[in-house]
Structure 1
Amino acid sequence: MSRARFLPSCGVGILHHSEHPSERTTSFPEAELPRRTSPPLGGILRGLARAENRFWGLVVAVGLISGLGAVVLLKVLRFTQHLFWRSEVEGFLAGVIASPPWRRFLVPVLGGALVSLMTLLVGQPLRGHGTAGIIESIWVKAGRLSLLRALFRGFVSIIAVALGAPLGREGALLSTGAASGSALAHRLRLPSGQARLLVACGAAAGIASAYNAPIGAALFGLEVLLGSFALELFGPIVVSCVVATLVSRAFVADRPIYVIPHYVLTHPRELMLALLLGVLMGAASALYVRGINLLSDSLARAPDWLQPFLPLVAMSLVGLAAIWLPYLLGNGYDSVNAALLGKMPLLLLAMLPLAKLLATSLCAGAGVPGGLFTPSLFYGALLGGAFGAGVGVLWPGGAPSGAYALLGMVAVLAGTTHASVSSVLLIFEMTADYDLILPLMLCAVISAVVSRWLEPESLYTSVLNRRNVRMPATVPQWLREEGARALLKPVEQRINPSAPFQEVVVLLLEQPPGADLYVTDSQGRLLGVIVLDALKGHLPDHTLLEATVAADVMDVNVPVITPSFSLAEVARSFGKTTLERLPVVDRDRRLLGTVSKSDVLQRGQF
């Protein structure tokens, strides 16, 4: 089932999946038709063209606004970093390390004080990394986002990251782009489907401009935000990402985010290590998601009077840790670059990921606004680098640690977002190293599978679940549909048709509530069902009780289910009876088990 069905028709390129172009009409008052100087069909076609042109113009405008907004925010980031750390963005870590200990402590404290002050001014916490809110806006709120709040929150986020918050800069760019799409859509009173799509276009454009990655950002918008690769969605997302990337390249930089050596992983031993790394990174991804959620939930339960001051407390603790571990400050770009180049010591590679996870979770849960995308790259790159460095010590002569750092990046990104396709292309575009594409794909898929097995919710859907927001399924209906076999429970008690009535009564009374007694022959074939309630008022003559057997009181007309029944067919079978359970039999009528009505209600999609 494609989740693209919410889209209304807005031109030739965007249609309902169930709507054929030939079925589309435009309504005009009949009284006005004779006054037209052109044929009605020509007027309809021109109207469609105008609607289509307007929408595509808005797609371009959203990309342009997102790109320009990213340029402005990145300029603010660099200016603030240079002002407080005496460094440009490329040398942020060098500036932090060169700073005296008092500055490493006081500058983050200043950032926390700023966030606390802004929280008091707006009267509500600024916590959250934005992506979950955008997904909720698209699917629940008809694409509605507050532009003023997004701009305010984005500006505070950029300043906080520049002052040392261990979060990502992409949060501000993504939310600003999404809010601009929402504002344009609702200003022009577009249908909710077009508004939702423009929000996704703006968010994807923000990612594209942040990382100079238009392909990966477009697929991120489709895979994570919209949950569909439908062709009708692809065009607008791509156009917005391309426009935003062109603007970013013109004013910021036209090169990959990470410039790395030429790495190759082709030896069978290295591919086996990549498989192992994918499994380990899947577990690490689940730990990342749970760590973020655990601290967020814990801090959300703090007293209301304390909530505005949590950012100050969290940033003070991060500043204190930065006296000894300056690598924790900022989004971690320089540390990731060092890991990719193989220039970071093994001790730091092993120690920093958990320290960064703790610092990021603390600040995100305390209400410091920022992204979790870049910190996850830090976490994955350093864990992968530690794996590669450890392998190099135990098994010399293999690939350098930087190659495994790259695999760790994509594996954690795929594991935390549950979006393997966009993760691979984002990392590929950030590094421009195509030769590692096969190990990247392998690691991403394995990590996503392991992470989903250990932690079913992604970094984004876990936030939505805490808000009681349920997302539509992203897999096809035919693939996720469950049948009777998935709900089958074994039968613990059967009875022979010749069993005396006294034994029948004893066994019935021993059954749990809602359970019945199944009569089977010597080969396990179902002959009938004995229901306790059905016996009331229908007992045989008391003088004949000693001669009564199970076959005399069983119901042979109870509906039966086969393992091939779909969930809908099972539900229809329950509609024919008042029983809480129905027997499941094979083609020879051998009893396989039962299905309960409560399981059907819990698993069904209604």
Structure 2
Amino acid sequence: MPPQLGGLLKGLTNQERRFWAMVVGVGLISGLGAVALLQVLRVTQNLFWHVNGDEFIAGAIASPAWRRFLVPVLGGALVSLVSLLVGQPLRGHGTAGIIESIWVKSGRLPLPRALFRGLVSIIVVGLGAPLGREGALLQTGAASGSALAQRLRLGPGQARLLVACGAAAGIASAYNVPIGAALFGLEVLLGSFALELFGPIVVSCVVATLVSRTLIADHPSYVIPHYVLTHPRELLLTLLLGVLLGAASAGYVRGINALSDLLDRAPAWLAPFLPLAAMTVVGVAAMGWPYLLGNGYDPVNMALHGSLPFLLLVGLPLAKLAVTSLCAGAGVPGGLFTPSLFFGALLGGAFGVVVGHLAPGGAPSGAYALLGMGAVLAGTTHASVSAVLMIFEMTGDYGLILPLMLGAVVSTAVSRWLEPESLYTSVLNRRDVRVPDSVPYWLREEGVRGMLMPVTQRVPPSAPFDEVVVLLLEQPPGMDLYVTDESGRLLGVIVLDELKGHLPDHSLLQATVAADVMDRRVQPITPGLSLAEVATRFARTPLERLPVVDDARHLLGTISKTEVLKHGRF
């Protein structure tokens, strides 16, 4: 072990070492889970479509029309059967559920349900569901983090962070995008770029990506020609593209929600059969347009290379939005991240074809397809920073980074103006789940330290009773007396109000010392707790102040209930 690393580890408390070990563990589990699920996807596609690797659409096109109809119907029948067996639909994409877990449920996600739902999701995508494979990987990684946190009894703050680490690690390993996935976890899941959150997220994503690169492959998700857009005319066109795709992103979000709202009104007895009906529609559509099947990787790749006909560039995005919305609303499990890339890439490619026709000599349509991916991803998630980095990592094309940034920012601004809710928060709002507008204080590890007040008076356990009473009476209102040993370790708390009715016989007062009247049951605070956890402690005690100690129980100071309630937003 390098001496610098050894010194760093020695400087950590046991609790901090355990947490960082779990961060690495979550990354490892997420990476291995992603590899296993992607292998299930390949086996499913090979078994039902007779394809290997990334040739899914080629196999679907080569398949007879009856296969393109029956295989998706089989996927819908599987989801309907599972819904009947478990007694509830599997609807909802994973990211919104993860956000709800982090912000509302203190990081609690049921691991068995997440694993089972992820397995069903990846199989159904392999059978042709027009949804993203990432939904299964995010949900599995997040649930693994939640399970570890619950097993080791971590506080809600660390549990939430581990859930975000697992989800980010899942998407990192799915698309080989460790930087973009880390920023996605911060920007979309946690809503904060706070420095103390950055380290754990990055470590988990790096570990998961190393696992997937070792066991699968190490290359960008989309291998494309090198594109450059630096001419002022092309940057102006990027601005126009950002505006158009910002409006399209808002339409994408509203389209997903509109069909989901409609299907939510279906009678309860009909809900388990909606996946079968939705996938039947997909099967009928796929008989004529097989490009609608699956998560859309191949059509996106074709658009990035400029090899997709203009009519498909225009027609497929609308058709894909329709079948994706239908399946998501009907309860077919899967992600909406990859379908949004499909939507953006093809619309961007269509824009490029029109520009090339009206003003020849500029950048090829494939370059605008790449910009379209970033613009729609940013517009639907309202997360322009992570969208830019993820598209850059997926394609490895640095030549388009400036217009990519410009298009993403403009698209996000236009989409927010037209549709204030993102693709994920809109799902939560339909369920009356409200995500706070500002970052809660449980995200700040330094919250306790920032409100720490020093203890000006403490007594040894042998202090006579009369001295204890005098010191208590001299304390300001709400202040208690703390009993410590010679090394400063907290032994107990003496509370004036609790002495009433508990005094010993008058004849024994001269023999009474501080150790006889101190309360050993007061549970002290540690600096690593979030303010939400501190508020929970105060809810269980009548005390106005609680002592703050380090791992060795050395008294560091006190924290006030009033200050916690004044500064905390939980």
Listed as ranges, the matches of 1:27-426 within 5 Å are 49-426=13-390
Distance 1:399 1:122, change over 3 A: same
Listed as ranges, the matches of 1:440-519 within 5 Å are 440-474=404-438
Q: For the residues of structure 1 that align with 2:302 and 2:378, how far apart are their CA atoms?
A: 22
Q: For the residues of structure 2 that align with 1:48 and 1:252, how far apart are their CA atoms?
A: 35
Q: Deviations over 1:171-197 (max 9, x none)?
A: 000000000000000001011111000
Q: Deviations over 1:466-522 (max 9, x none)?
A: 122221224899xxxxxxxxxxxxxxxxxxxxxxxxxxxxxxxxxxxxxxxxxxxxx
The Cα shift of 1:335 comes to: 0.4
Q: For the residues of structure 2 that align with 1:476 and 1:354, how far apart are their CA atoms?
A: 38
Q: For the residues of structure 1 that align with 2:177 and 2:440, how far apart are their CA atoms?
A: 28
Q: Deviations over 1:523-575 (max 9, x none)?
A: xxxxxxxxxxxxxxxxxxxxxxxxxxxxxxxxxxxxxxxxxxxxxxxxxxxxx
Q: What secondary structure is seen at the aligned counterpart in 2 of 1:304? A: coil
Q: For the residues of structure 1 that align with 2:239 and 2:341, how far apart are their CA atoms?
A: 19
Q: Deviations over 1:424-474 (max 9, x none)?
A: 000000000011000000000000000000000000110111122221224
The Cα shift of 1:393 comes to: 1.2
Aligned residue in 2 for 1:539: none
The Cα shift of 1:311 comes to: 0.3
Q: For the residues of structure 1 that align with 2:345 and 2:10, how far apart are their CA atoms?
A: 53
Q: For the residues of structure 1 that align with 2:381 and 2:52, how far apart are their CA atoms?
A: 30
Q: What secondary structure is seen at the aligned counterpart in 2 of 1:435? A: helix
Runs of 4+ in 1 over 3 A off after TM superposition: 45-48, 474-477
Give me the identity figure in percent: 80
CA contact (8 A) 1:157 1:368 kept: yes
Q: For the residues of structure 2 that align with 1:379 and 1:299, how far apart are their CA atoms?
A: 22
What is the identity, as a one-letter code, of the residue corresponding to 1:189? R
What is the identity, as a one-letter code, of the residue corresponding to 2:380? T
What is the identity, as a one-letter code, of the residue corresponding to 2:352? G
Instruction: With the length of structure 1 as denominator, give the TM-score of the two structures.
Output: 0.71
Q: Deviations over 1:336-364 (max 9, x none)?
A: 00000000010100100000000000000
CA contact (8 A) 1:414 1:444 kept: yes
Q: For the residues of structure 2 that align with 1:466 and 1:163, how far apart are their CA atoms?
A: 29
The Cα shift of 1:48 comes to: 5.4
CA contact (8 A) 1:419 1:448 kept: yes
Q: What secondary structure is seen at the aligned counterpart in 1 of 2:251? A: helix
What is the identity, as a one-letter code, of the residue corresponding to 2:312? L
What is the identity, as a one-letter code, of the residue corresponding to 1:429? E
What is the identity, as a one-letter code, of the residue corresponding to 2:81? L
Q: For the residues of structure 1 that align with 2:12 and 2:306, how far apart are their CA atoms?
A: 56
What is the identity, as a one-letter code, of the residue corresponding to 1:133? G
The Cα shift of 1:89 comes to: 3.4
The Cα shift of 1:365 comes to: 0.3
Q: What secondary structure is seen at the aligned counterpart in 1 of 2:268? A: coil
Q: For the residues of structure 1 that align with 2:207 and 2:77, how far apart are their CA atoms?
A: 37
The Cα shift of 1:52 comes to: 1.2
Distance 1:334 1:474, change over 3 A: farther
The Cα shift of 1:394 comes to: 1.4
Aligned residue in 2 for 1:432: 396
The Cα shift of 1:87 comes to: 0.4
Rg comparison, structure with higher value:
1
Q: For the residues of structure 2 that align with 1:414 and 1:280, how far apart are their CA atoms?
A: 13
Structure 1 unaligned runs (5+)?
1-44, 478-604
Distance 1:48 1:262, change over 3 A: closer
Root mean square deviation of aligned Cα: 1.5
Q: How many residues align?
A: 435
Q: What secondary structure is seen at the aligned counterpart in 1 of 2:288? A: coil
Q: What secondary structure is seen at the aligned counterpart in 2 of 1:90? A: coil
The Cα shift of 1:46 comes to: 7.6
The Cα shift of 1:403 comes to: 0.3
CA contact (8 A) 1:228 1:474 kept: no
Listed as ranges, the matches of 1:524-539 within 5 Å are none
What is the identity, as a one-letter code, of the residue corresponding to 2:102? I
Q: For the residues of structure 1 that align with 2:387 and 2:367, how far apart are their CA atoms?
A: 16
Aligned residue in 2 for 1:509: none
Distance 1:385 1:145, change over 3 A: same
CA contact (8 A) 1:201 1:236 kept: yes
Q: For the residues of structure 1 that align with 2:64 and 2:115, how far apart are their CA atoms?
A: 33
CA contact (8 A) 1:265 1:271 kept: yes
What is the identity, as a one-letter code, of the residue corresponding to 1:124? Q
What is the identity, as a one-letter code, of the residue corresponding to 1:307? A
Distance 1:49 1:476, change over 3 A: closer
Q: For the residues of structure 2 that align with 1:140 and 1:475, how far apart are their CA atoms?
A: 13
CA contact (8 A) 1:176 1:203 kept: yes
Q: For the residues of structure 1 that align with 2:31 and 2:37, how far apart are their CA atoms?
A: 10
CA contact (8 A) 1:340 1:401 kept: yes
Q: What secondary structure is seen at the aligned counterpart in 1 of 2:230? A: coil
The Cα shift of 1:56 comes to: 0.4
The Cα shift of 1:132 comes to: 0.7
CA contact (8 A) 1:282 1:449 kept: yes
